[in-house]
Amino acid sequence: MNRFRAAQIAGLILMIALSLGCERATGVPDDPTASTDPPQEGPFRREEGSRGISPSRSLVPGVNKIPEGTPITIRLQDAVSSTSSKAGDGFGGTLDDPIVIEGQELVSRGTSVTGKVLASKASGGMHNPGYLRIALVSVKANGQPVPIETSSLFVKGGSHGRRHLTAIRDAGAAGTDDASTNEVTYGVESRLTFRLAQAVELH
């Protein structure tokens, strides 16, 4: 009887030991770092080689407007004179200085410009000097003439008009008057400076 009871106890102990072994094999591993699941990528991970938009190229518009008051300095290609030029006559020239706005060159040196004689009168004698008034009417931009409106240059011939000529020369222009004939002439290659009377948009 005692042997039978001892065998029962031994069998019970063996069953308990086997049960504990199975639970350990199928349970959660002791080392949580032993997980074989692949690492999860964050939602903001950027792909290699991806590039954002450059604000300087796509979001900031370029300057395309020449403001009022901008100086426009040219070299004449055609002579104009109070003796030979008539109101309405045109003349040609080229930019002697580039037009630069906010550090950007909008119109380069050498660009063609067109001017117009607004008024002209030949001298009628010592006390009736000749005079000349001219202005610019267009400048080429991107290969196309763009209408512009500028201040005019006005010069009287003879001794009575010298103060007008001096003021223009001080502003960067060049011209000649002849006290003996009281006439005014701007020769080829004369350097003249006008100022833009209205802002101009270039397209």
Residue 113 confidence (pLDDT) above 50: yes
- Spatial CB neighbours of 68, under 8 Å, sequence gap ≥ 6: 196, 197, 198, 199
Average pLDDT over residues 41-56: 47
pLDDT value of residue 41:
54
> Is 171 part of any domain?
yes
Residue 150 confidence (pLDDT) above 70: yes
Name which of 20-29, 117-126, 169-178 the model is least confident about: 169-178
Across 37-196, where does the E strand assignment appear? 65-66, 71-76, 80-81, 90-95, 99-101, 104-107, 112-121, 131-141, 144-147, 153-156, 176-178, 183-186, 191-195
pLDDT value of residue 171:
40
Residue 9 confidence (pLDDT) above 60: yes
- Spatial CB neighbours of 203, under 8 Å, sequence gap ≥ 6: 64, 142
> Is 10 part of any domain?
no
pLDDT value of residue 162:
45
pLDDT value of residue 56:
39
Average pLDDT over residues 129-143: 94
> Is 157 part of any domain?
yes
> Is 41 part of any domain?
no
Average pLDDT over residues 123-150: 92
Within 13 Å, how many C-alpha atoms sit on residue 183's CB side?
11
Q: Is the pTM of this model over 0.75?
A: no
pLDDT category of residue 135 using cuts at 50, 70 and 90: very high
Q: DSSP for 94-110, please give it.
A: EESS-EEETTEEEE-TT
pLDDT category of residue 124 using cuts at 50, 70 and 90: confident
Which carries the bigger pLDDT value, residue 173 or residue 64? Answer: 64
> Is 27 part of any domain?
no
The whole domain housing 73 covers: 65-201
> Is 149 part of any domain?
yes
Which carries the bigger pLDDT value, residue 83 or residue 13? Answer: 83
Average pLDDT over residues 66-72: 97
Considering its fold, how many domains does the chain have in total? 1
CATH of the domain at 197: 2.40.128.260
What mean pLDDT, rounded, does the chain reach?
A: 77
> Is 47 part of any domain?
no
Contact 186, 76 (CB under 8 A): yes
Contact 186, 80 (CB under 8 A): yes
Average pLDDT over residues 42-57: 46
% pLDDT > 90, the chain: 50
